Amino acid sequence: MTVLAHGTAAPGGQDDALARDALAVLQPGFEGTTAPAWLLRRLSEGLVSVGLFGRNIASPGQLAALTAQLRAERDDVLVAIDEEGGDVTRLEVRGGSSFPGNLALGAVDDTGLTREVARELGRRLAECGVNFNWAPSADVNSNPDNPVIGVRSFGADTDLAARHTAAYVEGLQATGVVACTKHFPGHGDTNVDSHHALPRIDADLDTLAARELVPFRAAIEAGTKAVMSAHILVPALDPTRPATLSPQILTGLLRKELGYEGLIVTDGMEMNAIAGTYGIERGSVLALAAGADAICVGGGLADEATVLRLRDTLVAAVREGTLPEERLADAAARVRALAGWTASARAAAGAVPGAPQGGAPGIGLEAARRAVTVSGTPAPLTAPYVATLAPVANIAVGHETPWGLAGELAELLPGTASGVFPEGASAEDVLAAAGGRTVVAVVRDAHRHAWMAEVLDRLVAVRPDTVVVEMGLPRAEPRGALYIATHGAARVCGRAAAEVIAGG
């Protein structure tokens, strides 16, 4: 039998089994809020996993209907999503998350709270029929200039990151939702976003063992069902290939040295760190050969042609001898086994997609309130002006998710006005727009943006009563009459800060 470049393969023995295995290891996406016919057809032919993104979600009810549509074709389908809470949300992509992210949880440093937040997040995912979460981030944010991790990390302290990673895994998986701990072997010490280029970490083996690997060891001990590889070059581990494509890192380190037996999934293969260096097709073959079990693709490539091209590429690689047949079969078996686990775990947790399951709906706001730190004394304000100094959001966060606190503060202080100021704006622009009102300057990672720091310094010099709210990584010295650090930009973080400003 010959597998055609554009699609269907005539059924027949071993070749048909190869095609089914090749489909099984893919995690593709799609466009729209209902499942297209081609996706349902491929599920019937051996596809096991589907990735969901913000473009696929309009409401909890719609999402539950979508996952029911998928499950009608394959009951044990793995429905994956990137729902970290905090800055990275897909469930609430258009309104902002009801849960603070990892940095806020690390700032509180209550593992019981982290476990409860993860459990509630998992409950909401399970209620919508989602059973695989590309979270948590176990990265130790040792480089404060990291452009892609930052508040997605529990913090810069290794032991803190490890204990909260374990708690998050335990809470999430208690609901029958797979935890996918990322980004192995650790993305925290980078200053390059792997969406754009290939980052490099030059730490030595001792540093990696004592810092990067510790949270992953904790996640494995906590029973994480999946681990996501990072598109990063770590010369101390492999001087030539990024982790996603490295046998030394995925098989030698993760499987053999750390003893991990669960599913290994790649980060998105269309990210430029892979697509721009090895190409998606070759990268997928190399990743599987290196030890990955599932190929994440679909964030930017979400069509049937991509799925068929990758399926046929993998089958051809087996035929050519560049991908061992046993390796593909082993990877497919691991994917199917995890799908089976989710079906039984869902039943054990009592998770019925589409049915309310109780839970702790206020836990996110409670956590966000506890994460806020304040310098200075709140002064009574009436109708202030909220100036949001807005950097360009990284791709993982997405530009479509709103952030800030203008709306939340307006609910508490009627008459509050607001404006958004991008790079290039000046303090004078803000003051002119404020028109004499007290300014509430809202920033995100001011330490990484010189223009933002300059605007803040000038505002505080001209108006010492300025309130500064840092919703990213709080690295700069506190400024203003009142300085609030929320440790993240989720909607609930904005609410918690607004309550402080409003005196409530």
- The pair phi, psi for residue 50, each rounded to 5°, is -135, 135
At 444, list the tokens: 């995100």
The two beta strands, 385-390 and 226-229, are unpaired
Do 3 and 46 touch, CB atoms closer than 8 A? no
Name which of 454, 500, 490, 495 is nearest 84 in CA terms: 490
- As a whole number of angstroms, the distance between CA 200 and CA 203 comes to 9
> At 127, is the secondary structure helix, strand, or coil?
helix
- Apex CA 103: angle with CA 102 and CA 104, to 5°? 90
Sign of CA dihedral 265, 267, 273, 278: positive
* Catalytic residue (one of 164, 183, 195, 449): 195
* Catalytic residue (one of 267, 293, 312, 445): 267
Q: Is 195 a catalytic residue?
A: yes
- As a whole number of angstroms, the distance between CA 23 and CA 310 comes to 8
Do 390 and 444 touch, CB atoms closer than 8 A? yes
Q: What type of residue sits at position 1?
A: M
- As a whole number of angstroms, the distance between CA 108 and CA 104 comes to 6
- As a whole number of angstroms, the distance between CA 292 and CA 264 comes to 5
Name which of 471, 441, 472 is nearest 457 in CA terms: 441
- Dihedral, CA of residue 257, residue 261, residue 263 and residue 267, to nearest 10: -10
Do 79 and 131 touch, CB atoms closer than 8 A? yes
Question: What per-residue string of b and e applies to 422-433 under the rule 16 or more CB within 10 Å gives b?
Answer: eeebebeebbeb
Name which of 34, 17, 28 is nearest 72 in CA terms: 34
- As a whole number of angstroms, the distance between CA 246 and CA 229 comes to 10
Q: Which helix (H) or strand (E) holds 180?
A: strand 178-184
Q: Is 267 a catalytic residue?
A: yes
Catalytic positions:
195, 267
